[in-house]
């Protein structure tokens, strides 16, 4: 075991090739993780950092709308996709919570140094996995729309919404689409519930991190399911106001994910 000092001096970050021990959790641990995440957000508001991280996504979407490209059928899949790639985007929030927990400097100047850390190689590997799942999800969503609506171009959100909710084809699209989305979201939940914050804390490599996350889900199916439900509900509440609410809900979930990791994993030397 050795201390990683790649960021202009020791960052109290450990590189460990071992496997962590998984704790037995209960639902109270999940709600407590959310409470601690809210406390972290209040102590270190991060709305602007969220906007910065998601600006490329927002700009891409705005450009497609401006050029008249048919993105209306993909509005819901794109919204749901935030949950699929969110664990990778929230890296900075994990680092803020890690530093705050250990009484370290939580200024953005220090927290953002994580993006230059050697651990980002492992984080990038896991991020590519989530990106691949996100692309698969968009492909599946587009294919499902093509099956039930024949690829018909949509020019009005209101009219498209009516078609979805008042036609048999629309309800079939909802059922099949939600089923496919749930399956992919379950894969992401199980493999990344704790893997990203774990890597920020201990760089044990992406394979070992995913393995630890799977073991957490296997040992704690009800708490992990409750955590997934909380994530889905909080992200939904953040998206209903034209995504504006995500500037608050997403950072809170990022901080809470760190505490969920800390409640589910224990290291022998901690």
pLDDT tens per residue across span 228-248? 999 988 888 877 765 667 778
136 compared with 107, residue with greater pLDDT: 136
Average pLDDT, the chain: 81
What are φ and ψ of residue 70, in 5° steps? -80, 90
- Residue 82's pLDDT is 73
Q: Which range has the worst mean pLDDT, 57-61, 182-186, 252-256?
A: 57-61
How far is 61 from 55, CA to CA, in rounded Å? 10
Whether the per-residue pLDDT at 62 is higher than 70: the answer is no
Taking a C-beta distance cutoff of 8 angstroms, is the pair 206, 199 a contact?
Answer: yes
Task: Give the model's pLDDT for residue 235.
Answer: 83
> Residue 160: which residues within 8 A CB-CB, separation 6 or more?
72, 73, 154
Mean pLDDT, residues 79-97: 84
Q: How many Å apart are CA 154 and CA 103, to the nearest integer?
A: 52
Are the beta carbons of 238 and 245 closer than 8 angstroms? yes
126-140 as b/e, with b when 16 or more CB fall inside 10 Å?
Answer: bbebbeebbeebeeb
How many angstroms separate the CA atoms of 87 and 250, rounded?
10
What's residue 207's pLDDT? 93
What was the pLDDT predicted at 151? 64
Average pLDDT rounded to a whole number, residues 43-66: 59
DSSP 132-184: HHHHHHHHHHHHHHHHHHTT-----HHHHHHHHHHSHHHHHHHHHHHHHHHHH
Question: What does the pLDDT read at residue 57?
Answer: 58
Measured distance CA(220)–CA(270) in Å, rounded: 21
Average pLDDT over residues 29-54: 81
Longest CA–CA separation in the chain, Å: 62
Give me the count of residues in the chain. 270
Cα 217 → chain centroid: 16
Evaluate if residue 222 carries a pLDDT over 70.
yes
pLDDT, tens digit (0-9, with 9 covering 90-100), for 128-187:
999 899 889 888 988 888 888 876 666 666 777 777 788 888 888 889 988 998 999 999
User: Could you tell me the CA-to-CA distances from 27 to 14, 32, 226 in Å, in that order?
Assistant: 29, 9, 7
What is the model's pLDDT at position 64? Answer: 54
HSE of 176 in the Cβ direction (CA atoms, 13 Å)?
16
């Amino acid at each position: 075991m050795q201390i990683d000092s790649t960021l202009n001096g020791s960052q109290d970050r450990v590189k460990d090739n071992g496997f962590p021990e998984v704790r037995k959790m209960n639902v109270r641990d999940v709600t407590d993780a959310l409470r601690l995440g809210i406390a972290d957000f209040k102590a270190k508001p991060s709305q602007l950092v969220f906007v910065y991280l998601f600006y490329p996504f927002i700009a891409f979407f705005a450009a497609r709308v401006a050029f008249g490209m048919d993105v209306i059928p993909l509005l819901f899949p794109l919204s749901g996709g935030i949950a699929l790639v969110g664990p990778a985007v929230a890296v900075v929030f994990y680092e803020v919570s890690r530093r705050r927990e250990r009484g370290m400097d939580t200024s953005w100047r220090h927290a953002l140094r994580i993006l230059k850390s050697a651990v980002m190689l492992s984080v990038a590997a896991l991020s590519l996995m989530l990106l691949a799942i996100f692309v698969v999800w968009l492909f599946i969503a587009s294919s499902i729309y093509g099956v039930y609506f024949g690829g018909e171009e949509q020019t009005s959100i209101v009219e498209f919404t009516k078609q979805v909710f008042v036609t048999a084809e629309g309800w079939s699209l909802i059922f099949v689409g939600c089923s496919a989305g749930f399956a992919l979201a379950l894969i992401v939940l199980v493999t990344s519930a704790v893997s990203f914050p774990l890597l920020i804390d201990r760089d044990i490599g992406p394979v070992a991190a995913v393995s630890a996350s799977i073991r957490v889900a296997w040992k704690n199916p009800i708490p992990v399911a409750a955590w997934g439900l909380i994530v889905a509900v909080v992200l939904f509440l953040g998206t209903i106001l034209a995504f504006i609410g995500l500037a608050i809900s997403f950072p809170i979930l990022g901080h809470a994910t760190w505490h969920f990791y800390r409640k589910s994993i224990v290291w022998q030397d901690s």
